[in-house]
């Protein structure tokens, strides 16, 4: 299987402390690399207001990861763990065109 480029965007709850947010980002970056993904970049995008409330919050910090992988393992594990993490309000995984 050839390597594909992916972009993962996830929203972190706004009231998390900086140190806890950094630990969260490091942990989820490690989930990707431990499962065969190669991170091109991983950075905070911005804090934005939502059009509607999500989990009691009106805003959140958007974080974007660009990566390549030749299996679905890293994506599946990120998806599974982000769904059960209370600090991540929403996430989206998209394939980037070459």
Show pLDDT as tens, one digit a residue, over the chain (98 residues): 689 999 999 999 999 999 999 999 999 999 999 999 999 999 999 999 999 999 999 999 999 999 999 999 999 999 999 999 999 999 999 999 86
Q: Write down the pLDDT at residue 98.
A: 67
**Residue that the structure tokens 């480029």 belong to:** 5
Chain CA centroid to CA 2, Å? 22
Contacts of 55 (CB under 8 A, 6+ apart): 13, 89
Per domain, the residue ranges of the chain are 15-39+53-58+71-92
Given a contact cutoff of 8 angstroms between Cβ atoms, the answer to whether 82 and 91 are in contact is yes
C-alpha 29/C-alpha 43 separation (Å) is 10
Q: Write down the pLDDT at residue 92.
A: 97
Q: pTM for the complete prediction?
A: 0.93
**Residue that the structure tokens 């030749």 belong to:** 70
The beta strand positions in 1-98, using DSSP E, are 4-12, 38-54, 57-69, 88-96
DSSP-derived 3-state class of residue 55: coil
**Residue that the structure tokens 């409330």 belong to:** 53
C-alpha 40/C-alpha 85 separation (Å) is 24
């Amino acid at each position: 299987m050839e390597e594909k480029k992916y972009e993962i965007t996830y929203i972190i709850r706004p009231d998390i402390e900086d140190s806890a947010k950094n630990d969260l980002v490091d942990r989820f970056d490690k989930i990707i690399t431990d499962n065969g993904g190669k991170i091109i970049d991983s950075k905070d995008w911005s804090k934005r207001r939502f059009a509607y409330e999500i989990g009691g919050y009106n805003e959140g910090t958007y974080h974007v990861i660009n990566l390549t992988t030749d299996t679905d393992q890293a994506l599946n594990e990120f998806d599974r763990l982000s769904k059960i993490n209370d600090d991540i309000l929403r996430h989206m995984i998209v394939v980037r065109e070459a």
